[in-house]
Structure 1
Amino acid sequence: WNIVDAPEVLKAFNPMWALRFFMEHGWHGIFILGAVVLAVTGGEALYADMGHFGAKPIRHAWYFFVLPCLVLNYLGQGALVLNNPEAVKNPFFEAVPDWALYPMIILATMAAVIASQSVITGAFSVSRQAMQLGYIPRMRITHTSHDTIGQIYIPGINWGIAVMVIGLVLAFRSSSNLAVAYGISVSATMLIDTLLLALVARALWPTSRYWIIPLCVVFFIIDLGFVIANGAKLLQGAWFPVVLGIVLFTMMRTWRRGRELLRDEIRKDGIRIDTFLPGLMLAPPVRVPGTAVFLTADPTVAPHALMHNLKHNKVLHERNVFLHVVTLPVPYAPEGQRLKIESVGDEFYRIYVRFGFMETPDVPLALMRSCDHGGIYFDPMDTTFFASRETIVATANRGMPIWRDKLFALMHRNAAPATGFFRIPGNRLVELGAQVEI
């Protein structure tokens, strides 16, 4: 009804008024964008649940429900301010009749809680993908649905978000102060999305460069304007998401680089399998019944767990498997390419198990299915899994600065064991320790 009282607010649909505003106010118009960006916050979360619902339901919900409601809401608030400039202090609740004020407060609170769920579940999904791709340490993942694989809960991420939110509220104290930090986060996210869209379009749709690149340039200019507008408020609170992003990037880069250095050290100190097996046949140890599965990050090198088992127990199982888990850069691994089995002689096998980054690795189940691929049969009650648990020792003048070595050692020490991440039963597992300097 406020729109009926001030129909001139409908001129907002004409972009010429925005251009006229910038022409009249110059650089001041750019800085005002820092406040305007708050009207589009939430747009970056539209795709947060893409993996749970798919693109089509989200697209329909946006065009047929969310967008019309938002447009009517903002037009109504604008019309109210035109008629009553004093309502600018709180136009959202001022637009509500007195009898509907408390129901609207309840509805707005519920909407805030519901909206936060997309961010939380999106954080869970992205974190699991980052674990699969090797960018963050493994964490305990709980599945909340027996039917939907994407419904997960990660306690570590959930508690981390809770602590951060409480800390932000206590530090910024008001929504207006927090809006400064939120604005740079949203605008930078949209700018990065535009760049990623251009890269994906160039890689997947080569013929689309004639129309997708100009489109991305237009969006890039718009997004860059929002980033510049919010970047001007760096000292007013916009510094926080920038610092947080740098910290998270440093941790992710340190974890990935540390894993590379760890693999290099293991490979350097280890014995190649094609060298180890001929030497083993010269003085064969005692063989015991059953199957031993050795988890390894490098399938060409004899695992530490195997070497320690031979050193201390002086025995080998009848059948030995070097198991290497591969995470593919696709959501789901094709079932026909799930397993690759190689015989390396004398009842030794090398098995590659492939998972997509959206999948939950289940190594025992994948091994049981190996017989369906013409491989070897696994009896869960006759199979023992061996894994090495490395202790990282940070040293100077070796792959990374000492502070990054110590950071990696801390993250590695607190990471969830690979055995639990791969759903290996604890009563069929033997862990052997190893100390590695990086």
Structure 2
Amino acid sequence: MGSATHEQSKQSGLMLAALGVVYGDIGTSPLYTLRECLNGHIPLPINAENVFGMLSLIFWGLMLVVSLKYVIIVLRADNRGEGGILALLALALRQMKTGSRRAMILTALGIFGAALFYGDSMITPAISVLSALEGIGIVSHTFDPYIIPITIAVLVGLFAMQRHGTASVGKLFGPVMLLWFSVLGVLGGWQIVQNPTVLHALNPYYALQFVVDNPKQAFVLLGAVVLALTGAEALYADMGHFGRPAISRAWFSLVLPALTLNYFGQGALLLADPTTIKNPFFLLAPGWGLVPLVVLATIATVIASQAVISGAYSMTNQAVHLGFSPRMDIQHTSETEKGQIYMPGINWFLLVAVILLVLGFRSSGALASAYGFAVVCTMLITTILAFAVFGHIFSGWRKWLVCGALVVLLVIDSLLFSANVLKIAEGGWFPLLIGLVAFTLMMTWKRGRALLYERLLAGELPLEGFVESLESSPPTRVEGVAVFMTASTDSVPHALLHNLKHNKVLHEQVVFLSIKTADIPFVSKRERVIVRRLGDTFFQIIATYGFKEDQSVPEVLAQVEALQAELHFDPMQTSFFLSRETIVEAKYPAMSFWRRKIFSLMNRNATRATQFFKIPPNRVVEMGTQVEL
């Protein structure tokens, strides 16, 4: 009995935490979605037919895209408990031959989907905080000139606090969002009680009827309907933090009912008073509750923005470990939670971009034109990758059932994508541009590192025969242990050849250390390290980390000492030898001029290996080498 009670308490805690992290973005969508659907790009007459039609489209979008696709289907595709588009990509690639045409296409799609997340992580804080503070204008229009400055001040404060970590603030996220969703439900429910006929819109007939009667308008307005679905990708991306049960229970028990009540409550208000279309969300509240609602909405949008910012850190961290980004400065803000990290370069870049968005668009309505395109692209890519994964996970009738559902969802995603293409000229170009730039940088880095590895490998000697020759006729040996960092496990590191050429000495013990990244998020400690003896004084260590783990050389060496009694890494007797490559133009270049320049710049500005791998900097010897590309 006690065990069952403890498990229920644990699940309740996870559900509460999920409210604060997972559902912040989609939970703040009612601030602007229905207003943009009825009064945005194509203003519609506020009558029962149009209100019922838009409410039905929003409700069935939530049911099909969020509930069916993400909560019921995609959450089942977990990579050792982890989710997100990069985790899904790793799962999909595991089912096919490395280097095949299909694998290359899926890799490009997955990386492009990940790159688009950066555009989303810029627009979300801007539109969320701006839409919340626009409620001030409902209190009094005298405050209108202060909306932009206050928005920028809130955003600067949000990004400035990132370096302190979110552990302490994060404890408040769940309870605040629980209050937020409760308020959403109560405000909407009160209006529904006064005008219950709005519940007719639960019938999909009204959505279909609206599409049949207004096919061109309905197609364009799908670009506004998608605003209700933003944040759906977070359900899958944050699965590793909370688990599928907590996320799905929170959705069906609280988030979906609260969102439905609020959207339908806004619809009931519009049917009673069409003039409330100027801001139907804030006008749900009675006069005395308007100011508290603006304050609560601002806090909720800050929480929604926090989740997206943290997601940008996590995405970049995964890209670094998977080889799609150069090493970056990653700071941990919690001693107990590995997932809580801070990346200064990403943080300040996002802040500048968000402020420029606020100053450039100046209203949540204008930003709504830019918002949604990146989200829909990622949703479409997720569905395509899901086909590759679920074709192998299920068999028999289950496979056909899931694939049939994915076909329907692919059609829906394609329609949403097509409708959002119309937004490109009105602001959608911004997240697309950011995504294309990020995609180009990531693929250039991946290609450049592959070519660099090929060039270095071509000039290296086989490890096995080289070790035998050194042991049979060794040079002068000196005290201590030499650790040579190398990407290859079967060839001699350039740093060792340079050391022998210039210093003509060899340490008493020589260790070749290779650190690999697996296509899984975490690797257990017992599977982390492999130690091979290559000779009397030569050893090889291969350490494998997951793509969400920090790589630490001291941690690896400490584990090796416990496995291999002959190896002892005294900090004062251990030297680390690393190669540092300089890129120069080859006679017959393997990369175009502009890509080589970009790769060279990224290579020069990458975080030093000593800092990234946590190697004591006063024990490092770097051997330079020029590589032609």
TM exceeding 0.5: yes
Deviations 1:403-422 (A, max 9, x none): 10110001111111222211
Contact 1:368/1:377 (8 A) holds in 2: no
Q: 1:424 to 1:334 in 2, by over 3 A?
A: same
Q: How far off its partner does 1:15 sit?
A: 1.0
Task: State the secondary structure of the residue aligned to 2:589.
Answer: coil
Contact 1:172/1:178 (8 A) holds in 2: yes
Could you tell me which residue of structure 2 aligns to residue 145 of structure 1? 334
Could you tell me which residue of structure 1 aligns to residue 17 of structure 2? none
Q: 1:319 to 1:46 in 2, by over 3 A?
A: same
Q: 1: CA distance between counterparts of 2:343 and 2:475?
A: 44
Could you tell me which residue of structure 1 aligns to residue 44 of structure 2? none
Deviations 1:351-392 (A, max 9, x none): 111111121111221122124335643323232111111122
Please state if 1:61 is matched with 2:250.
yes
Contact 2:561/2:569 (8 A) holds in 1: no
Task: State the secondary structure of the residue aligned to 1:263.
Answer: helix
Q: 1:289 to 1:206 in 2, by over 3 A?
A: farther
Matched residue type, 1:425 = P
Contact 1:254/1:408 (8 A) holds in 2: yes
Q: How far off its partner does 1:279 sit?
A: 4.3
Please state if 1:401 is matched with 2:592.
yes
Could you tell me which residue of structure 2 aligns to residue 413 of structure 1? 604
Match of 1:157 among 323, 327, 346: 346
Q: 1:196 to 1:125 in 2, by over 3 A?
A: same
Could you tell me which residue of structure 2 aligns to residue 433 of structure 1? 624
Match of 2:442 among 252, 268, 284: 252
Give the structure with the larger helix fraction: 2
Q: 2: CA distance between counterparts of 1:247 and 1:395?
A: 26
Task: Decide which moves more: 39-48 or 125-134.
Answer: 39-48
Which consecutive residues of structure 2, in runs of 5 or more, have no partner in the other structure? 1-189
Please state if 1:389 is matched with 2:576.
no
Deviations 1:251-271 (A, max 9, x none): 111000000111111112222
Matched residue type, 1:7 = P
Identity %: 49
Match of 2:320 among 107, 131, 135: 131
Q: 2: CA distance between counterparts of 1:367 and 1:8?
A: 69
Match of 1:352 among 538, 542, 546: 542
Superposition CA RMSD, Å: 1.8
Could you tell me which residue of structure 1 aligns to residue 368 of structure 2? 179
Task: State the secondary structure of the residue aligned to 1:179.
Answer: helix
Matched residue type, 1:68 = P
Q: How far off its partner does 1:12 sit?
A: 2.0
Q: 1:374 to 1:316 in 2, by over 3 A?
A: closer
Could you tell me which residue of structure 2 aligns to residue 118 of structure 1? 307
Matched residue type, 1:111 = A
Matched residue type, 2:578 = A
Q: 2: CA distance between counterparts of 1:372 and 1:306?
A: 26
Alignment of 1:127-276 (within 5 A): 127-207=316-396, 208-276=398-466
Please state if 1:307 is matched with 2:492.
no
Q: How far off its partner does 1:282 sit?
A: 6.0
TM-score relative to the length of structure 1: 0.95
Task: State the secondary structure of the residue aligned to 2:213.
Answer: helix
Contact 2:482/2:577 (8 A) holds in 1: yes
Task: State the secondary structure of the residue aligned to 2:329.
Answer: coil
Q: How far off its partner does 1:43 sit?
A: 2.0
Q: How far off its partner does 1:244 sit?
A: 1.8
Task: State the secondary structure of the residue aligned to 1:433.
Answer: strand
Q: 1: CA distance between counterparts of 2:435 and 2:234?
A: 17
Task: Decide which moves more: 109-118 or 158-167.
Answer: 158-167
Q: How far off its partner does 1:423 sit?
A: 1.4
Could you tell me which residue of structure 2 aligns to residue 286 of structure 1? 476
Q: How far off its partner does 1:332 sit?
A: 1.4
Task: State the secondary structure of the residue aligned to 1:157.
Answer: helix
Match of 2:485 among 295, 299, 307: 295
Q: How far off its partner does 1:174 sit?
A: 2.0
Which consecutive residues of structure 1, in runs of 5 or more, have no partner in the other structure? none
Q: 2: CA distance between counterparts of 1:388 and 1:375?
A: 28
Deviations 1:259-301 (A, max 9, x none): 0111111112222223433443565211111111000111222
Contact 1:38/1:183 (8 A) holds in 2: yes
Alignment of 1:69-108 (within 5 A): 69-108=258-297
Q: How far off its partner does 1:59 sit?
A: 2.2
Could you tell me which residue of structure 2 aligns to residue 12 of structure 1? 201
Match of 1:49 among 238, 243, 253: 238
Matched residue type, 1:200 = V
TM-score relative to the length of structure 2: 0.67
Matched residue type, 1:272 = P
Task: State the secondary structure of the residue aligned to 2:534.
Answer: strand
